[in-house]
Homo-oligomer: A and B are copies of this chain.
Amino acid sequence: MAQGIVLTGDRPTGPLHLGHYVGSLANRVELQNSYKQYVMIADVQALTDNFDNPQKVRDNVLQVGLDYLAVGIDPHKTTIFIQSMIPQIAELAIFYLNFVTINRLKRNPTIKAEIAQKGYGENVTAGFLIYPVHQAADITVVKGAIVPIGEDQLPMIEQANEIVRTFNRTYGVDVLVEAKPLISEVPRLPGLDGKAKMSKSLGNAIFLCDPADVVSKKVMTMYTDPDHIRVSDPGKVEGNVVFSYLDIFDTNKDEVKELKAHYRRGGLGDVVIKKRLIDVLNAFLDPIRTRRAALEKDPDYVMATLLAGSQQTREVAEQTMREVRAAMRLDYDVRDKR
């Protein structure tokens, strides 16, 4: 096993899609062979902007759990846990709030962008504004040292590490561990519509749980080259979503290269390349769907897996908290020897 604990996770606000697979899930399936890995289903964080729709969050905890197991995150190698089942995270977050000013939180570029995007303005809830502090608790409670993220999440790691350093310095300890970001080098999967990001809310996603016919229909709507009207027209490959996907999912790189050349010089219709992509995607998704279908028949097993992972995480988190409480002189139940 390589050194360092990996902490990563998702907000359970919808089923996971191909963008998640390419951006993070595939990586986790690899990382679990080399690292102790925790994967968190971040229901508490999801509630910060879904507090009035808890059933949505609840339902998606199971859906995300199904997706994890279906893609091959192995509960024997990876500890999958539900955030709200680790009360130590809340305890730690409350302590961390003393190390961060409101102004510092407002300057966090990730939060700043999200507040603008969601139009919260000055009416941002305390829960939303402080979520980077909560995230610092997520990471440090399991002593996460490696956090796979996208580039846009770098300010969150910086904020977490600031808290770690302040805590250790204030209490003269080395209880908390700084985290290193592991930036994904995989190009981001565009949405069906050609937008840079695939996302449920943009309605441009192919979900890991989409049946074959849904995948077919979605691929047929894919953005290609608006100037490629007739089959005989030369077409553009850059920005053409079908080719972006073939680049990632088609294992026959030589044939993809030939198809691109053919498309560029004209004579290759969109329907042909889309049909190929449908086959490629369904071949990729079929084993995932098969495993998911089996797991869907036994939701109790899936939930039991998440509960067992949460129990394991609680034990690790409680050990961290024992050290944190000792550092903060809150260990009243330990006989005072000083």
Answer whether residue A182 sits at the interface, using C-beta atoms and an 8 A cutoff.
no
Answer whether residue A298 sits at the interface, using C-beta atoms and an 8 A cutoff.
no
Answer whether residue A105 sits at the interface, using C-beta atoms and an 8 A cutoff.
yes
Count of identical protomers in the assembly: 2
**How many Å lie between the Cα of A120 and that of B128 in the bound state?**
22
**How many Å lie between the Cα of A98 and that of B58 in the bound state?**
17
When each residue 94-109 of chain A gets 1 if its CB lies under 8 Å from chain B and 0 otherwise, what string results?
1101111111010000
A102-B124 contact given A43-B330, A58-B329, A303-B332, CB 8 Å threshold: yes
Answer whether residue A51 sits at the interface, using C-beta atoms and an 8 A cutoff.
yes
**In the bound complex, do residue B333 and residue A94 qualify as a contact, i.e. CB atoms below 8 Å apart?**
no
Q: How many residues of A contact B (CB 8 A)?
A: 54
| Interchain residue pairs with CB less than 8 A apart (30) | A47-B95, A48-B98, A51-B99, A51-B170, A54-B171, A54-B330, A58-B329, A58-B330, A58-B332, A61-B332, A82-B332, A84-B325, A85-B332, A85-B333, A90-B93, A94-B134, A97-B125, A97-B126, A98-B125, A101-B122, A101-B126, A102-B102, A102-B122, A102-B124, A102-B129, A126-B126, A126-B130, A126-B133, A307-B332, A307-B333
| Residues of chain A whose beta carbon lies under 8 Å from any beta carbon of chain B | 43-44, 47-48, 51-52, 54-55, 57-58, 61, 82, 84-85, 87-88, 90-91, 93-95, 97-103, 105, 122-130, 133-134, 170-171, 300, 303, 306-307, 325, 327-330, 332-333, 335
